[in-house]
Amino acid sequence: MDLIRDAIRTIPDYPKAGIQFRDVTTLLKDARAFRAAVDLLVQPWAGQKIDKVAGIEARGFILGGAVAHQLSIGFAPVRKRGKLPHQTLIEEYELEYGEDAVEIHIDAVDEGDRVLLVDDLIATGGTAEAAVKLLRRADAEVVGAAFAVDLPDLGGAKRIEDLGVPVTSLVAFEGE
């Protein structure tokens, strides 16, 4: 995991003072680290029946698309409100400074699909929780959530596990 941890850039005081931003774009540009991350994200799910990967905008599209490719299954984008051109299902959620929403196309997943949720990072878990609720409203079963980075002190992984969804992550940055 050192390869992956070392490939993630830390940007201090972004987007505001006191925040240590974990930037996975440096992991994505490193072919060896990117390949290792995708392989490790896939590993717990290989051989299990999964119908789709749902990736959360935007870096979750990159990792989730690669995971879906490795698993030879389809991909469902979970986007911010107003970004999808067809009919959508929308799930609103609270932010520390207001409200936001994510959406999927009404035909992004089929009833009973077993879906793996993928994103680059789990912090407080608000967006991931909204994505789980959205996928469930579409009658899909969320079998797991996989993240490259966990910030465990912010409680997001536990929040998703409390919904009954197993969570895996590749590296954790404590004290964030």
Every domain of the chain and the residues it spans: 49-172
Q: What's the distance, CA 90 to chain centroid?
A: 17
Is there a cis peptide before residue 123, judged by omega within 30 degrees of 0? no
Query: What pLDDT is attached to residue 98?
Result: 82
Query: What pLDDT is attached to residue 145?
Result: 98
Among 5, 9, 22, 59, the active-site one is 59
Query: What pLDDT is attached to residue 41?
Result: 98
Query: What pLDDT is attached to residue 176?
Result: 58
Among 96, 99, 111, 174, the active-site one is 96
User: Average per-residue pLDDT in the chain?
Assistant: 96
| Residue 63: partners with Cβ closer than 8 Å, 6 or more residues away | 37, 38, 41, 55, 118, 119, 120, 148
Query: What pLDDT is attached to residue 95?
Result: 79
The CATH class, in words, for 49-172 is alpha beta
Q: Supply the pTM of this predicted model.
A: 0.96
Residue 96: active-site member: yes
Residues of the chain with pLDDT under 50: none
Residue 137: active-site member: no
For residue 73, the one-letter residue type is I
